[in-house]
């Protein structure tokens, strides 16, 4: 074996702690090492050139790079090795930065010793590495998008416009997400429906978008380029192929259900279309509220439907779709009502959240756009807006900032003033975060031109006194206690991941953060990739964000999908399981151990085989094999044994 070892200083990141010259000196005497060299920045062009030159001069057959984490530059150095004639699977990384110099900054001696041992382990590993070549797998050029809010719709349109088919799954009966509930949008105050409906109708009629509403993803199998998705379309009890959306059923229905779209502010018929611009414009029966299902009596909708579309017997339907890439755009929910007891949220009807205020403002909402409080329909003359309810609250909520509340609260206060010119809006805030194009100006306008009174401080309590809500707070700028008798209180509650996000992440075998937002592969440089290849993230599924940021990220996710679809075939890691048929007894334990159906028994030859393309290289079968017949390529038992010797010995 002729191994070259390349030790990076990473400026002072490694070199400031680890004694690099000593490392190079010791390693150059290690068995199998043809040459050890160091360089200030191994990932730089001159650093890469140095590696190539030494490979050629020393006729190396393997290399070890001692530098940052393999997560950073493994691929870089593999391609450098390959370009100079070393098989890329015979290039190993010793992580002497993230797991050595950085966490041991005050112990240079020990860090140096550790670096030497980590490099020795990497040399032992590379000694056993086989020269492999990447496997090639076909790509299904069809995308699945989960969630049809503005993020999912934008990604779907971008991918469909580029010529690929899209399956767009939405669990509600209609598309548009939360944006469909908004009245106006900051910082321009243009009507949300007016800018959204061109998108919803385009999605609804696009020839390459297969829209599955009232549907959820049940399970997913496969891998990048080749996913099989099982989708459940929940029963609507209306045959949408026959239904014309005339609305007669809704008019005549005698039963009532609380309207989710209107945030529970009104009741709607048990058979209804959520809002006038809904796409698809078809009704759904709520089985919990419908007289036919609850009492077994009513059948009015069935009688009045002119096309016979009502189908009380309808069952959930299961579909299977084959796709090559997935975009997760599941959006957000608001912090649950029950958790904000001190503000009487969920107890006093006139304490509402931001989305409820949007509905009060909306021309198609329960009050036709007039600001009337829920309890008695009175026009509120004093309205208190409270920001950071649940957000930036380590004790009772979430430590993170929900990002959009400063802006939408300013918007709410301004819209309120436009409609109730003699009313007084107050805003309790912690800090105003108005970073964004035109945002700061928007907030300034609220305070300077529109008479919105901003009070810097927290509200301690809200309680009912007669028909007023008494708001106890503090103005930290004047140092005075504040008591306001308000007619209505609007809470900017925290943005939380959509319900079911964690369960979906499990189905997708990808990760979420501690709050349940989907984790991106890198917080700065790979913000739309998930930790699973072929799965991308867009919108509030990843973190709270506003509409412009959501649309940007959705476009970016679509671009990633299109890049994936631009290749005929994808490469698949060749570090998969392999079987020594001489040793295999055909017992089938490996078949049981495999989570990917990549292991099967060849019953004729009585040996276990590996389907390379399905194998994810996890190594579970190799451990399970009772007679050592299965090995994981380039992570064999003997390799790990020598690595242990290198670090313990």
Task: List residues near another protein by CB under 8 A.
Answer: 69-71, 95, 97-100, 102-107, 110-111, 113-114, 117-118, 121, 505-506, 509, 511, 513-514, 519, 531-532, 593, 595-596, 616-620, 622-624, 632, 635, 637, 640-641, 643-645, 647-649
- Could you tell me if 132 and 615 are in contact, meaning their C-beta atoms sit under 8 angstroms apart? no
Closer to another protein by CB, 117 or 612: give it.
117
Closer to another protein by CB, 296 or 649: give it.
649
Closer to another protein by CB, 102 or 463: give it.
102
- Taking the C-alpha atoms of residue 155 and residue 206, their distance in angstroms, rounded to an integer, is 13
Closer to another protein by CB, 49 or 638: give it.
638
Closer to another protein by CB, 96 or 384: give it.
96
Read off the tokens for 565: 């679809």
Question: Closest approach of Cβ 596 to another protein, in Å?
Answer: 8
Question: Closest approach of Cβ 536 to another protein, in Å?
Answer: 17
Closest-CA residue to 486 (of 474, 469, 465): 469
Closer to another protein by CB, 406 or 608: give it.
608
Question: Closest approach of Cβ 70 to another protein, in Å?
Answer: 7
Closer to another protein by CB, 92 or 184: give it.
92
Question: Closest approach of Cβ 140 to another protein, in Å?
Answer: 21
Question: Closest approach of Cβ 394 to another protein, in Å?
Answer: 15
Secondary structure (DSSP) of 346-401: TTSTTEEEHHHHHHHH-TTSTTTT----TTT-PPPSEEEEEEEESTT-TTTS-SS-
How many residues does the structure list for the chain? 649
- Taking the C-alpha atoms of residue 337 and residue 493, their distance in angstroms, rounded to an integer, is 9
- Taking the C-alpha atoms of residue 125 and residue 324, their distance in angstroms, rounded to an integer, is 34
Question: Closest approach of Cβ 509 to another protein, in Å?
Answer: 6
DSSP state at residue 178: G
Question: Closest approach of Cβ 566 to another protein, in Å?
Answer: 26
- Taking the C-alpha atoms of residue 373 and residue 356, their distance in angstroms, rounded to an integer, is 10
Question: Closest approach of Cβ 632 to another protein, in Å?
Answer: 7
Closer to another protein by CB, 464 or 499: give it.
499
Report CA torsion sign: 431, 436, 439, 440.
positive
Question: Closest approach of Cβ 127 to another protein, in Å?
Answer: 15
In Å, what is the CA distance from 91 to each residue of 48, 63, 87, 559?
A: 13, 5, 7, 31
- Taking the C-alpha atoms of residue 135 and residue 117, their distance in angstroms, rounded to an integer, is 33
ω before 177 within 30° of 0 (cis)?
A: no
Report CA torsion sign: 519, 523, 529, 531.
negative
Question: Closest approach of Cβ 576 to another protein, in Å?
Answer: 11
Closer to another protein by CB, 85 or 628: give it.
628
257-265 LR contacts (CB < 8 Å, sep 24+) = 257/286, 257/288, 257/289, 260/172, 261/180, 261/181, 262/359, 262/365, 262/366, 263/181, 263/352, 263/353, 263/355, 263/356, 263/359, 264/356, 265/356, 265/359, 265/360, 265/365, 265/366, 265/374
- Taking the C-alpha atoms of residue 159 and residue 164, their distance in angstroms, rounded to an integer, is 6
Closer to another protein by CB, 328 or 505: give it.
505
């Amino acid at each position: 074996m002729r191994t070259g070892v390349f030790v990076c200083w990473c400026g002072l990141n490694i070199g400031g702690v680890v004694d690099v010259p000593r490392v190079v000196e010791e390693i150059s005497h290690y068995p199998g090492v043809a040459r050890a060299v160091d360089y200030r920045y191994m990932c730089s062009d001159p650093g890469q050139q140095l590696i190539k030159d030494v490979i050629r001069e020393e006729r190396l057959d393997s290399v070890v790079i001692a530098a940052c984490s393999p997560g950073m530059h493994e691929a870089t150095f593999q391609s450098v090795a390959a370009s100079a004639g070393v098989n890329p699977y015979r290039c190993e990384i010793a992580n002497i930065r993230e797991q050595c110099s950085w966490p041991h900054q005050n112990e240079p001696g020990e860090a140096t010793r550790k670096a030497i041992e980590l490099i020795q382990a990497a040399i032992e590993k590379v000694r056993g590495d086989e020269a492999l070549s990447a496997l090639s797998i076909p790509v299904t050029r069809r995308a699945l998008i989960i969630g049809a809010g503005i993020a999912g719709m934008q990604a779907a349109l971008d991918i469909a416009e580029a010529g690929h088919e899209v399956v767009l799954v939405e669990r509600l009966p209609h598309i548009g997400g939360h944006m469909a509930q908004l009245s106006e949008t900051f910082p321009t105050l243009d009507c949300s429906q007016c800018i959204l409906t061109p998108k919803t109708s385009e999605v609804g009629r696009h020839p390459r978008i297969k829209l599955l509403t009232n549907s959820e993803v049940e399970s997913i199998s496969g891998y990048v380029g080749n996913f099989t998705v099982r989708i459940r379309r929940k029963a609507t009890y209306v045959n949408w192929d026959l239904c014309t959306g005339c609305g007669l059923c809704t008019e005549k229905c005698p039963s009532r259900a609380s309207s989710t779209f209107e945030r529970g502010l009104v009741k709607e018929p048990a058979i209804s279309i959520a809002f006038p611009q809904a796409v698809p414009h078809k009704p759904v029966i709520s089985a919990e509220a419908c007289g036919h299902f609850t009492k077994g009596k009513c059948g009015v909708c069935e009688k009045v439907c002119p096309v016979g579309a009502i189908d009380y017997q309808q069952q959930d339907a299961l579909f299977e779709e084959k796709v090559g890439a997935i975009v997760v755009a599941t959006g957000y929910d608001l912090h649950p009502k029950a958790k904000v007891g001190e503000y009487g949220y969920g107890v006093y009807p006139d304490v509402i959240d931001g989305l409820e205020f949007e509905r009060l403002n909306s021309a198609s909402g329960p009050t036709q756009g007039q600001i009337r409080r829920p309890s008695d329909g009175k026009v509120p003359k004093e309205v208190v807006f409270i920001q950071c309810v649940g957000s930036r609250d380590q004790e009772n909520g979430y430590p993170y900032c929900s990002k959009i509340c400063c802006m939408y609260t300013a918007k709410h206060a301004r819209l309120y003033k436009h409609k109730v010119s003699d009313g007084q809006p107050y805003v309790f805030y912690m800090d105003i975060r108005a970073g964004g194009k035109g945002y700061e100006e928007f907030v300034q306008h609220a305070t300077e031109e529109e008479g919105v009174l901003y009070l810097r401080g927290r509200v301690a309590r809200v309680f009912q006194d007669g028909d007023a809500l008494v708001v106890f707070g503090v103005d930290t700028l004047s140092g005075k206690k504040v008591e306001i008798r308000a007619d209505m209180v609007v809470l900017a509650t925290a943005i939380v991941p959509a319900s079911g996000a964690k369960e979906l992440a499990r189905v997708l075998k990808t990760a979420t953060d501690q709050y349940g937002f989907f984790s991106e592969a890198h917080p700065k440089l790979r913000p739309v990739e998930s930790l699973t290849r072929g799965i991308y993230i867009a919108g509030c599924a990843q973190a709270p964000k506003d509409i412009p940021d959501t649309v940007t990220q959705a476009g970016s996710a679509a671009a990633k999908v299109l890049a994936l679809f631009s290749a005929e075939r994808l490469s698949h890691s060749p570090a998969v399981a392999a079987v020594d048929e001489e040793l295999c007894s055909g017992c089938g334990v490996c078949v049981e151990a495999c989570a990917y159906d990549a292991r099967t028994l060849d019953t004729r030859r009585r040996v276990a085989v590996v389907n390379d393309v399905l194998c994810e290289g996890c190594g579970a079968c190799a451990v399970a094999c009772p007679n050592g017949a299965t090995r994981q390529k380039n992570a064999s038992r003997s390799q790990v044994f020598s690595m242990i010797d290198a670090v313990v010995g």
